[in-house]
Chain A
């Protein structure tokens, strides 16, 4: 059996080649579904290491993005063994970049890390109107809604979206987190969100706290 600690460490070190070599060898050995699930968990723990190093200022946003690429490649290798990579779901999240803003990167980082933390994430995409958030929330009844934006203008769009969710009678059933460079404590209050962050790892801890 594969050394799971080495898997976790390789992802934490962003050592893509080593990780994929180990996983290819593992797949070739004909593992059981249960063994493959343990490898997925080890990868998710590797993503936690990446998040910790980011919070310590050792890794940067580029490292977070690349960790997502490695994770995607790793899960693609394991998926044929277990059919689907989803383990037990800790919560459900709808995420999107608000209307008027086409920035994708912050949302993508948060999505990768939320999925690695066991959330089922429904990604609406970029430049999403209020109605798209409302419709998806009605459809999947999430625990958390995440709104992303980089432009200062997107703060108004976030406020519109929170108000839209309120008017649709959905606000009280969900927690809302906002993220992106213009977001501040004061902006969070004006918008009416439950939490704000400019740090994906910190944001993940917040939403984990909401569903635990």
Chain B
């Protein structure tokens, strides 16, 4: 594809994405891919053969050229490039990289107890850096503060910069990325990295006020990070939603909601869009989600009925999801196209809907390439 044609297509994608986030109608159905290790599988490349971000860029560009999706939340995250260096620099962590795949080891997550919450609330940055992280990463113990901070900066910012360069290279090759940053909501931060499932659930039951207050303290610590990210109308900060799917509305309201809502409001106030990835089912929390800011929010839904999602939340946020990966794996091309026609007919009118796989495409079993190609071609050629 010529550079001129590539630039024109990219600008069209940018505009389509920005308008869909604003819940305006667009010329064709916007297709937002959500994929990870599926990229090399689709491109016919062995993950082990990809040893640099330049090579990974070529993989992403090949898939983007072939499928012509409007945007993808993030590009392929090659585990050996994205996670392994951090683990090496810090001498371990909660993620393990094996056979070029990353996995979080749940037994390594719980690293602090609720008795430490009052100290964490007083000064989250200092308490995490000085007390909690050295427990997880032995290399941070018994070294002078300068060396300690250098290690963390190298692992987080140094590797982060390499990833940012990779994202920019993908965009220069015509692959529009939705992502402007990755964060997790404050209470999920506690859950994902420090308390694990049983720990956080027990805290929510035994000391809900403390969990709420930790969330609010972490929110304050997040604000400078948010101010350092440049907003753009076709980009969004990506936030995977983890624990709320498992909480009753009552527990959610008492503990998770205050910092979640405050964080959403702050990001939007700073000019950002936010893309929430609602893992599993969220129907029991729709009433709360209606109270999020009425602009700048995209909700990607996994297991909820997208027609109900659009009906309940379509006037509050742009919504995404609905493309059945099970059908793409087990159905025929015709069945997949009929399925997409139904999504377009029911969900595109009025704007504010991205066609997106109902689960992030990670493995070969998440959809036969010929079916994904048929779906992408149909969406590319469809006009509204």
Contact = CB atoms under 8 A, between A and B. Distances in A.
Interface of A: 14, 16, 57-63, 65-66, 68-69, 102-105, 108, 126-127, 151-153, 155-156, 181-182, 184, 186
Given A66-B202, A152-B325, A186-B330, A60 B359 contact: no
Given A104-B106, A186-B330, A63 B248 contact: yes
Contacts of B245: 61
B363 interface: yes
B280 A60 contact: no
Contacts of A127: 103
Given A16-B206, A66-B205, A181-B280, A152 B246 contact: no
Contacts of B70: none
Contacts of A152: 325, 359, 362-363, 365-366
B365 A16 contact: no
Contacts of B204: 62
Say what secondary structure dominates the interface of chain A. Answer: loop
Nearest to B303: A181
Interface of B: 103-106, 197-198, 201-202, 204-206, 243, 245-248, 251, 280, 284, 303, 325-326, 330, 359, 362-363, 365-366
A66 B201 contact: yes
Contacts of A102: 103-106
A177 B41 CA distance: 31
Interface of B is mostly: helix
Contacts of B325: 152
A127 B248 CA distance: 29
Given A62-B247, A102-B106, A181-B303, A69 B359 contact: no
Given A62-B248, A152-B359, A153-B363, A69 B106 contact: no
Given A61-B246, A181-B280, A153 B326 contact: no
Nearest to B202: A69
A151 B247 contact: no
Nearest to B104: A102
A134 B243 CA distance: 34
For B105, B206, B248, B284, which residue has the most chain A Cβ atoms within 10 angstroms? Answer: B248
Contact of A60 (B202, B247, B326, B363): B247
A7 to B, nearest CB: 18
Contact of A59 (B106, B198, B248, B362): B248
A102 B251 CA distance: 26
B246 A151 contact: no
